[in-house]
Structure 1
Amino acid sequence: MGGNRTMQMPTGEELQITEFICARCGNCCRGEGFVRVFPNEAQRIAEFLGIPVEQFLREYTRVPDLAEDVAAGVRWLIDKPGPLRECIFLDGNACRIHPVKPQRCRDFPLKWRTPDAFTYCEGLRS
Structure 2
Amino acid sequence: MSGKFEPKVPVQLNPPKDDPISVEELAKANGADGEKCYVAIKGIVYDVTGNKAYQPGGSYHVFAGKDASRALGKTSTKAEDVRPDWQDLDDKEKSTLNDWITFFSKRYNVVGRVEGATNME
Do both proteins adopt the same fold according to a TM-score greater than 0.5, normalized to the shorter chain?
Answer: no
Please report the TM-score for the alignment, with normalisation by the length of structure 1: 0.29
Larger relative contact order (C-alpha < 8 A, sep ≥ 6)? 1
Name which one, 1 or 2, has greater alpha-carbon Rg.
1
